[in-house]
Structure 1
Amino acid sequence: RRASAFAELTSGAARVLVSTDLAGRGLDLAAIGHVVHVGPPHSVADLVHRSGRTGRGDAAAGVVAALVRPHEVARVRAQATEAGMTVEVVDPADRSAGERLTAAFGPEIDRHRRRREPAPPARSRRPARSRAHRPKRKRRS
């Protein structure tokens, strides 16, 4: 599977490769434009290897993003600085986050959202009534 995925990526048949950390080492791909890390790298070396050509400081420029929790931001920032990468933190709660990510990744990142059909309107149904708050009826004898 790895060989066929690699062949599709190098031939241009595939434009995206989703992989575990195993793809971070041993794949020599030229012109990697974007790398997205899910979770923080364990070390600076892992950051560089997982980022491919975009993280090695070569002439090739690219965008590397790391999706991390708030308490992991400082660690990833320190790793990126040590690796010679420029860091910009994007808070998902910030209203301009979507625009900033589209500017970094290009309009392709937003394509799926634009094509999606709006959700159908919710049917107005009342929730089932619970009898838990009602007192029990007295039994007739």
Structure 2
Amino acid sequence: MAKIVKFTFDNNDEENLTQDSKESQNQTLDEREAIRKALEDHILANFAVKTILGIDFVYKINKNDIGVLGQIAYEHKRRSGVFVADYIAKGYKQKDRYVIDSLAFQLGEPEFYTQILNILKAKKALPDEE
């Protein structure tokens, strides 16, 4: 026997739009958290940082290139106290994760900082300072 299935179509355009906006917000949050994790991994692996107390940054993605400007509060491995530093980072997207390949602190490595700044300007991946 045949079974008749009746479909009712309602205009749920508003629901679809809100779901799309929620999905894009979730994607942006996931992207930001992935970049945060890449930054923390790079800093902990390459610098004398014991613990990261707080990290704030703005980023811009142009194609697969990532530019990051930010500020970090951390505890040093060999010196006591809490330090705050401005930094710039450059990286790329590799499949589903982000990789930071260069990071420089503004006061610690001013020449390297300006070099990364110029590279990000050329690649149009320099974020706007907010």
| Smaller-chain TM-score bracket | under 0.3
Quick check: which one's strand share is greater?
Answer: 2
Q: TM-score, normalised by structure 2?
A: 0.27
* Greater radius of gyration (CA): 1
TM-score by length of structure 1 reads 0.25
